Structure 1
Amino acid sequence: MKKTALIFAILLLNNLSLFSQDFKLSAEIRPRFEARHGYKKLMSNNQKTASFVSQRTRLNFEFEQDKIAVKVTAQNVRVWGDVSTLSAQDINGITMHETWAKYQFNEMVALKVGRQEIAYDDERIFGAVGWAQQARSHDAALVKLDFKRKGKLDAGFAYNSNNENITDPGYFINQYQNMQFLWYQVPLAKSFKLSLLVLNNGMQYSIDNVTRKTAYSQTMGGRLVYKKNKIAANAAFYYQLGELPQTISTGTVIQNAYYVAADIQYRPTSSFTFGGGIEILSGNDMSSTSSQNNAFNPYYGTNHKFNGLMDYFYVGNHLNTVGLVDIYVPLTFKKDKLKISTTAHYFLTQNNYAIKVIDYLAILDPSLGTEIDLTVNYKLSNVFEISAGYSQFFGTQSLETIQGGNASLSNNWSWLMLTFKPVLFQTNLK
């Protein structure tokens, strides 16, 4: 039986050109070693370095025929050693990272439905989170409009439930219950490009584990990109308003939550690029008794990409606090197959953090610390590359007060990653 199935599979692959316009079967195997000594949070006394190897394994099926395109990505994420050498079962299992189909009605209109990555612009609000071994994907439907020189528009819709049910099971938790967004990108001139985004996010909550409510927040804004000759620059602004899910009868109003960013890079030669930038995420005044929330939330972005690679801010942490100001200076060298990048960050609180001293409130120094990131990437071939990095964080007493840990200890993080991306089988009939 197994031999018959194998022969059938070989014959099917050999004759796939009879049925398809394009078929691609590819894989990804990505093991990564990490040594964490103050990663995401300052080290405390008597804590020791955590070291491990994690691995992402993917099998990608891509198919196109006439007006339809389909992608299925099966994924396994594991840590070396979490399954014993004699185990009869793999506790990690196989998940479906992507399972979507797209139908192209005409040159202008397409519909894309299913489990899919959603990533736009610099991935600050919507990103695939590629650094995380599991990455991020959404169950959603997208209507995609291409106006050619007048830009392109995506309209996205998502509706989540806990399971199939005969009656309403109650409120939905852990992630958004429903979401809608519009993303529009248009070239303004030869060197400028503008992107606009409006996101409506619905989070369900309950005040008594029975009564269900949905808190809706809105994020709106845009990003302007300029690129000409040796200069590249961009600026972005987003504003948030609405409600957050709470355990009281009414949600907390978000007022004046905002995000501002700008950077510029100059490439004096084909190998060197340097520049500077600033990013501001609004936060709450912790010396105020107001119940209003003024902290910006980057929601579904690739947050590891921003505010330092050691993930001290907005990677499952630092939300609804004092906000952040990140002043950074990047430098990149790229030649042939080698790329070396280093970035220095200086972090400050955007709003006040207060501690009670006897009978008055003392405002902390806004300085949170400095981080230096170094990454090296060498691409040996189209299917294999080696990456490595080292980061050092120099925290302050203010960060120690806000997040805990010991700022006087050495806090660093190093990693080494191998990425294999072979194409196992492909037909191209275009």
Structure 2
Amino acid sequence: MKRIFTLVMLSLGLCTQLKAQEFTLDADIRPRFEYRHGFGNLFPDESKAAAFVTQRSRLNFAFKDEKLSLYFSVQDVSTWGDTQQLSATDNNSSFSLFQAWIRYSFTENWALKLGRKTISYDDQRILGEVDWAMQGRFHDAAMIQYSKNKFKLDLAFAYNQENQNLVNSAYTLTGAFSYKTMQMAHLTKNWNRASFSFLFLNNGFQKFTNDPAPLPNGLYYRQTTGTYFTFPLSNLTFTGSAYLQTGMANATTDLNAYQYMLEAKYKAGKATLTAGFESLSGTDQVSEEKDKSFFPLYGTNHKFNGYMDYFYVGNFANNVGLNDVYGKIAFPTGEKSTIGLNAHFFFANAELADDLSKNLGTELDLVYGKSIGKYIKLAAGYSQMIATESMSAVKGGTTSKNTNNWGWVQLIINPRLITYKFKED
């Protein structure tokens, strides 16, 4: 708390010196209880379910005047009970800086944004904030922004290092597709409710050779290129995307992969009906020279392919891909509450070994949401995975015969704590 209080005071002091127009302070607190009995992977024999409460406690500081914007976001992400009572420090170093960036508008159309930030576009399939994950996702990058007449262009550049070394520049962080270099271009054009966007993303990953210890040996690159669109037609709205991935899957394997999605959403009275299909290419389980497995990299993957996170949420890379046929229905249950049911039918995109069927299984997701007050929302869900023998084959061989389900309840509290407007001298 001492560090948070210091940041508040520094931010207020900075705003005063700069004769800011507005300073705001927001809180984001969300405790979530989960019961896991087959979440993320099939439930193994002779195991017991997991249950716990996690909590995100976040403070967001924002300052804005005519040309300059500053934003800081600090957070603590912890599991209830992970630190012994009366402990002077948190055992798991759960406190972190989530965002810290500045944005300066040179003209009405051009701006520069620097620092740690979320990068989120379109339906968040390739680049997203990952807000379901308590810690979220950020990028340390520089961004040039242009906007005019419902047209936006963002150009982003990143060069990452672990330390301020005197010699050598090896980057050993590899989890979650951590990159050493990144170049990105994203453009969007809007027409009323319709929109079209284009993305080019080039990631450079550290390459190592063993001689005999691992030594850095340049970079290998992966490119993701594609489009996303929305098109309304009366009560019907179509959305779709298509992406290609090329370059290298790893330091020695070529990559040639694709993704495409088409979805239709229909408003029928108070109910919303959705039907869609998504295909992400995969690699046959028999040997192939090229890797054909598409991975959506830095997206909010929890949104897609079922809420039980069997696919692409930190897993399922370099696998047989996925064809997802899905349908959804959502409708209000009161003035401030809604309920929804999603059904996903999963099939492998590539061939499985041993002549196994491509049918991986079916997932049902039931979700309820209610606004309790001005700043408080309640959300709850239950999911059931009905897996097949083929799912077992692509998920490490764990049996598919056990019950696989997951339940959760979450509170989201987002109060505006301070709004302070400064007068110009």
CA 1:402–1:275: 2 relative to 1, 3 Å: same
Structure 1 residues 260-409: aligned runs within 5 Å:
260-269=260-269, 271-287=270-286, 289-334=287-332, 336-354=335-353, 362-403=354-395, 404-409=397-402
For 2:405, the equivalent position in structure 1 comes to 412
Q: CA deviation at 1:106?
A: 1.1
For 1:94, the equivalent position in structure 2 comes to 95
CA 1:63–1:18: 2 relative to 1, 3 Å: closer
Equivalent residues of 1:17, 1:429 under 8 A apart: no
Equivalent residues of 1:35, 1:414 under 8 A apart: yes
AA partner of residue 33 (structure 1): F
Identity of aligned residues (%): 38
AA partner of residue 184 (structure 2): F
Deviations 1:31-87 (A, max 9, x none): 000000000111111111100000000011100123000000011100000001121
Deviations 1:230-273 (A, max 9, x none): 11111111011101333xxxx31112x0001000010011x210
Which range is displaced more, 332-341 or 33-42?
A: 332-341
What is the alpha-carbon distance in structure 2 between the residues aligned to residue 277 and residue 173 of structure 1? 36
Q: CA deviation at 1:342?
A: 1.2
For 1:198, the equivalent position in structure 2 comes to 200
Deviations 1:212-243 (A, max 9, x none): 12111111110121124311111111011101
What secondary structure, in the 3-state scheme, does the structure 1 residue paired with 2:327 have? strand
Deviations 1:176-214 (A, max 9, x none): 000011001113x55531110001111112022124121
CA 1:407–1:65: 2 relative to 1, 3 Å: same
**2:261 is aligned with 1:258:** no
Q: CA deviation at 1:17?
A: 11
Q: CA deviation at 1:169?
A: 4.0
For 1:63, the equivalent position in structure 2 comes to 63
Equivalent residues of 1:329, 1:344 under 8 A apart: yes
For 1:240, the equivalent position in structure 2 comes to 245
Q: TM-score, normalised to structure 1's length?
A: 0.91
What is the alpha-carbon distance in structure 2 between the residues aligned to residue 244 and residue 394 of structure 1? 31
What is the alpha-carbon distance in structure 2 between the residues aligned to residue 394 and residue 239 of structure 1? 31
What is the alpha-carbon distance in structure 2 between the residues aligned to residue 263 and residue 337 of structure 1? 27
Equivalent residues of 1:204, 1:245 under 8 A apart: no
What is the alpha-carbon distance in structure 1 between the residues aligned to residue 412 and residue 17 of structure 2? 30
What is the alpha-carbon distance in structure 2 between the residues aligned to residue 298 and residue 203 of structure 1? 16
What is the alpha-carbon distance in structure 2 between the residues aligned to residue 35 and residue 211 of structure 1? 43
Equivalent residues of 1:171, 1:206 under 8 A apart: no
Which range is displaced more, 236-245 or 369-378?
A: 236-245
Structure 1 residues 177-216: aligned runs within 5 Å:
177-187=180-190, 189-208=191-210, 209-216=214-221
Which structure 1 segments of 5+ residues have no match? 355-361
Q: TM-score, normalised to structure 2's length?
A: 0.92
CA 1:54–1:340: 2 relative to 1, 3 Å: same
CA 1:273–1:429: 2 relative to 1, 3 Å: farther
Equivalent residues of 2:308, 2:406 under 8 A apart: yes
What is the alpha-carbon distance in structure 1 between the residues aligned to residue 17 and residue 218 of structure 2? 52
CA 1:349–1:410: 2 relative to 1, 3 Å: same
Equivalent residues of 1:203, 1:244 under 8 A apart: no
CA 1:77–1:211: 2 relative to 1, 3 Å: closer
What secondary structure, in the 3-state scheme, does the structure 2 residue paired with 1:406 have? coil
Equivalent residues of 1:345, 1:372 under 8 A apart: yes
Equivalent residues of 2:248, 2:254 under 8 A apart: yes
AA partner of residue 320 (structure 1): N
Equivalent residues of 2:118, 2:128 under 8 A apart: yes
Q: CA deviation at 1:290?
A: 2.0
What is the alpha-carbon distance in structure 1 between the residues aligned to residue 194 and residue 74 of structure 2? 38
What is the alpha-carbon distance in structure 2 between the residues aligned to residue 380 and residue 32 of structure 1? 16
What is the alpha-carbon distance in structure 2 between the residues aligned to residue 426 and residue 30 of structure 1? 22
What is the alpha-carbon distance in structure 1 between the residues aligned to residue 244 and residue 411 of structure 2? 39
CA 1:17–1:332: 2 relative to 1, 3 Å: farther
Aligned residues: 408
Q: CA deviation at 1:426?
A: 0.5
Which structure 2 segments of 5+ residues have no match? none
Structure 1 residues 143-182: aligned runs within 5 Å:
143-149=144-150, 151-174=151-174, 175-182=178-185
CA 1:73–1:211: 2 relative to 1, 3 Å: closer
Over the aligned positions, Cα root-mean-square deviation in angstroms equals: 2.1
For 1:31, the equivalent position in structure 2 comes to 31
What is the alpha-carbon distance in structure 1 between the residues aligned to residue 300 and residue 362 of structure 2? 21
Equivalent residues of 1:173, 1:203 under 8 A apart: no
